[in-house]
């Protein structure tokens, strides 16, 4: 640790000291003051980046003409539609765990599948959450479920 002179009282202080032990002034050395300014600058830049990203994501999420959600990839909409459809078939929809999975469909439809043990759980008649397997198919735009099979039973 290097020693320097306090800019206020002139006594010897550590260059890393935040406060002079003799006179109590904040940032007694020029190096400490520079570090404090740098930290404030970095914090300010981070806050601006975070706020700017939030504003950008909120403004690009909606079409400007009709204020409807705009998603670049229809498989995102399709997955949300399927997760909701699977959840609604449960005895207790709020307890159903429907994890994210990848789209295995083609350009004409979206298809999602959850194999047993991949995190899809639904409550049985006794109140226990059990591993479940399911598959869900949607239209090309992802807004309509066209097929839903849960534990080998066609629901739709």
- Is residue 67 a part of any domain in this protein? no
pLDDT confidence of residue 146: 95
Is the pTM above the cut of 0.75?
A: no
Domain that holds residue 126: 74-154
The pLDDT tens digits for 95-112 are 999 999 999 998 789 999
Share of the chain above pLDDT 70, in %: 83
3-state secondary structure the chain: CCEEECCCCCCEEECCCCECCCCCCECCCHHHHHHHHHHHHHHHHHHHHHHHHHHHHHHHCECCCCCCECCCCHHHHHHHHHHHHHHHCCCCHHHCECCCCCCCCCCCCEEEEECCCCCCEEECCCCCEEECCEEEEECCCCCCEEEEEECCEECC
The pLDDT tens digits for 117-140 are 999 999 988 889 899 999 999 999
- Is residue 129 a part of any domain in this protein? yes
- Is residue 147 a part of any domain in this protein? yes
Q: Are residues 96 and 132 in the same domain?
A: yes
Higher pLDDT, 27 or 138: 138
Q: Are residues 88 and 119 in the same domain?
A: yes
From 37, 60, 83, the end of a domain falls on: 60
Tell whether the model's pLDDT for residue 62 goes beyond 70: no
Count of structural domains within the chain: 2
Q: Are residues 104 and 38 in the same domain?
A: no
From 60, 82, 105, the end of a domain falls on: 60
Q: Are residues 29 and 91 in the same domain?
A: no
């Amino acid at each position: 640790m290097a020693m320097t002179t306090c800019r206020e009282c002139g006594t010897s202080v550590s260059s890393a000291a935040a406060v002079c032990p003799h006179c109590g002034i904040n940032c007694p050395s020029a190096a400490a003051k520079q570090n404090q300014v740098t930290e404030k600058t970095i914090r300010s830049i981070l806050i601006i980046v975070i706020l700017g990203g939030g504003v950008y994501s909120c403004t690009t999420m909606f079409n400007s003409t009709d204020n409807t959600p705009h998603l670049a990839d229809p498989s995102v909409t399709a997955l949300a539609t399927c997760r909701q459809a699977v959840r609604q078939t449960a005895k207790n929809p709020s307890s159903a765990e429907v994890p994210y999975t990848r789209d295995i469909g083609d350009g004409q439809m979206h298809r999602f599948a959850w194999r047993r043990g991949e995190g899809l759980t639904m409550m049985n008649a006794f109140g226990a959450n059990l591993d479940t397997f399911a598959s869900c198919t949607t239209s090309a735009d992802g807004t309509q479920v066209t097929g839903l099979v849960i534990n080998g039973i066609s629901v739709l």
